[in-house]
Amino acid sequence: MSMRAPFTTEPSIDFSQPANRTAMLAALKDVESQLGQRYPIVIGGERRESGQWIRSVNPGKPDQLVGEVAKASASDIEDAIAAGEAAFASWRKMSAEGRASVLFRMAGLLRQRKLTLSAWLVYELDKAWDEAEGEVAEAIDFLEWYGRQALKLDQPVELAHLPNEITDYRYLPLGVGSVIPPWNFPCAILTGMTMAPVAVGNTVILKPASNTPVIGYKMFEIMEEAGAPAGVINFVPGDGGEIGDLMVEHAKIRFIAFTGSKPVGVRIFERAAKVQPGQRWLKRVTAELGGKDAIIVDKSADVAAAVEGIVTSAWGFQGQKCSACSRVLVHADVYDEVVAGVVERTRALVTVGPGVSGEATVGAVVDANQYESIRNYIEIGSSEGRLVYQGEIPAGLEGGYYIPPTIYADVPRTARIACEEIFGPVLAIVKVESFDEALDVFNDSEYGLTGSVYANDRALLERARDEAEVGNLYFNRKCTGAMVGIHPFAGIKLSGTNSKAGGPDYLHNYVYAKAIGERVQ
């Protein structure tokens, strides 16, 4: 086996350095000159169109077309599954080293094109520069991590054995699967969900989210360039409502990798459980869903640190991270100080405006539907809590899906804005009388994705370690920014199947194990 350096996370680019700013501005200019192009469906390595197009626009400037991507129909899905099955015959026999090399090569290509890909994210999602660059870095991390994990999974497994037998135990790929990622990390999550199953010998049909098909195509192109053979990854952009059920229910689909909202995830989970005529296996489903992530601030906490963590977790990428803080549960003794601090730091740090500027910290939300839905929650909040802050939207941004960051305090624990995933820049602050009550509110949710506890009391932290019902728990730090290989990421409860992206077990979701005993004497 060839030698490889141990895994380390990709360093981030510091945009306060003038040279880096200049390079990013050049990348944005270059990408701007490429906006408005058309991209095909790709099945078995062949490009095709369908006559129907998905339009992708800049959410900060919806009349700016980022690109149009051919929309796949049911018959394209049938063809893509057939192409995936055909490619499986040889891809499953490729050595682990050969497959992992495709991931390492892709990581190298992403490193070379980091700023260009960041610029595509800035245009297609109105991400701030550092959020966009961080996402490309995370895609690189997934590739470096899963490549190494795939090599590890290929190593012999130690088992007990009989004196007269040789035992063998190996992990084998499942077959062709459907990969359905969300729009909020269309570079990193899409890459991880696609390349993990591919690394262990599966083939896939990949449907990018309808809001972000252009960056999806860019990632697909790099997968091809890195050496994924024709048919191993089939690119089938389309409307989830139209082709999603077929991608899930098809008798030849062996697994589904889904990340997205709870309602869609639950639907997929139910439908994948039904064995279809001609189906010869039980489908595997990884479904990673939403959250209502809370930060507890105990009376023993370092209030300034808690305020900083809340502000960072709440507003990054305009609150559109599944890990974003949307509930703050504060002990009465420090309540006024925390509320005032969060308002003050938000006012100081948040600048609403277009990602392209390189100045704004909060860009537009993804589309008209989310814009309406979040504004509706802000309206609901006005009768549920006390408005303590609402940001300004600078003049000149009319038409863009900009939402003012909004903070409600004195929110009852049962209020809708304290219980439902809003997925936008809205924060609900709840007062609690004790740490017991804080933990009780923390856990009184159908979700269980991320959360933080700020406390300087070891006994309380240890209680939270044991009792807090989330997949990713943090002490005295923000609840966003999970790193590959360091904070394996996935929730519990209705936040999903706990597949733990970027962790030591993730690839096990996409293999089965075969035990072979051979009698030798």
Does residue 259 bind ligand NAD (CB under 6 A)? yes
Quick one: which of 67, 201, 216, 244 contacts ligand NAD (CB under 6 A)?
244
User: Where does this chain touch ligand NAD (CB under 6 A) — which range of 63-71, 140-148, 151-159, 204-212?
Assistant: 204-212
Answer whether 208's CB lies under 8 Å from 216's CB.
yes
DSSP-based three-state secondary structure for 365: coil
Does residue 288 bind ligand NAD (CB under 6 A)? yes
User: Where does this chain touch ligand NAD (CB under 6 A) — which range of 56-64, 107-115, 258-266, 454-462?
Assistant: 258-266
Quick one: which of 60, 260, 385, 503 contacts ligand NAD (CB under 6 A)?
260
User: Where does this chain touch ligand NAD (CB under 6 A) — which range of 16-24, 260-268, 388-396, 401-409?
Assistant: 260-268
* Length of the chain counted residue by residue: 521
> What spatial distance separates the first Cα and last Cα of the chain, rounded to whole Å?
32
Does residue 423 bind ligand NAD (CB under 6 A)? yes
Does residue 240 bind ligand NAD (CB under 6 A)? yes
User: Where does this chain touch ligand NAD (CB under 6 A) — which range of 22-30, 81-89, 285-293, 375-383?
Assistant: 285-293
Does residue 215 bind ligand NAD (CB under 6 A)? no
> Total residues at the site for ligand NAD (CB under 6 A)?
32
Quick one: which of 261, 373, 390, 443 contacts ligand NAD (CB under 6 A)?
261
Tell me whether strands 233-235 and 406-409 are parallel, antiparallel or unpaired: unpaired
Q: In the complex with ligand NAD, which residue's Cβ is closer, 291 or 451?
A: 291
Does residue 182 bind ligand NAD (CB under 6 A)? yes
Does residue 118 bind ligand NAD (CB under 6 A)? no
Does residue 267 bind ligand NAD (CB under 6 A)? yes
Q: In the complex with ligand NAD, which residue's Cβ is closer, 201 or 291?
A: 291
Does residue 448 bind ligand NAD (CB under 6 A)? no
DSSP-based three-state secondary structure for 167: strand
Six-digit token string for 325: 């803080």
Does residue 268 bind ligand NAD (CB under 6 A)? yes
Quick one: which of 77, 179, 180, 222 contacts ligand NAD (CB under 6 A)?
180
Binding mask 140-169 for ligand NAD (x = CB under 6 A): ------------------------------
Which residues, at least 6 apart from 11, have a Cβ–Cβ distance to it below 8 Å?
137
Does residue 445 bind ligand NAD (CB under 6 A)? no
User: Where does this chain touch ligand NAD (CB under 6 A) — which range of 95-103, 169-177, 284-292, 424-432?
Assistant: 284-292
Tell me the CA distances in angstroms from 18 to 113, 130, 347, 356, one per residue in order: 19, 14, 26, 16
Does residue 291 bind ligand NAD (CB under 6 A)? yes
Answer whether 163's CB lies under 8 Å from 517's CB.
no
Quick one: which of 11, 156, 241, 396 contacts ligand NAD (CB under 6 A)?
241
Question: Could you count the other beta carbons within 10 Å of the beta carbon of residue 21?
Answer: 15
Q: In the complex with ligand NAD, which residue's Cβ is closer, 78 or 457?
A: 78
Nearest partner of 270 among 252, 254, 248, judged by Cα: 248
Distance CA 214, CA 38 (A): 9
- Residue 234 bridge partners (DSSP): 205
Q: Tell the smallest beta-carbon distance from residue 11 to ligand NAD (Å).
A: 23
Does residue 184 bind ligand NAD (CB under 6 A)? yes
User: In the range 467-496, which residues lie near ligand NAD by CB under 6 A?
Assistant: 490-491, 495-496
Long-range contacts of 109-114 (CB under 8 A, 24+ apart): 109/222, 109/225, 109/226, 110/136, 110/139, 110/140, 110/143, 110/222, 111/10, 111/140, 113/222, 114/13, 114/140
For residues 35, 36, 37, 38, the Cα torsion angle rounded to the nearest 10 degrees is 140
Catalytic residues: 288
Q: In the complex with ligand NAD, which residue's Cβ is closer, 240 or 517?
A: 240
Distance CA 253, CA 263 (A): 21
Dihedral sign (CA 141, 142, 144, 148)? positive
Distance CA 60, CA 403 (A): 11
Distance CA 375, CA 379 (A): 6
Does residue 298 bind ligand NAD (CB under 6 A)? no
Does residue 421 bind ligand NAD (CB under 6 A)? yes
**Distance, C-alpha 242 to centroid of its chain:** 22
Alpha helices in 56-210 (DSSP H): 74-91, 96-112, 114-125, 129-153, 188-199
Binding residues (CB under 6 A) for ligand NAD: these are 180, 182-185, 189, 207, 209-210, 240-241, 244-245, 248, 259-261, 264, 267-268, 288-291, 322, 421, 423, 449, 490-491, 495-496
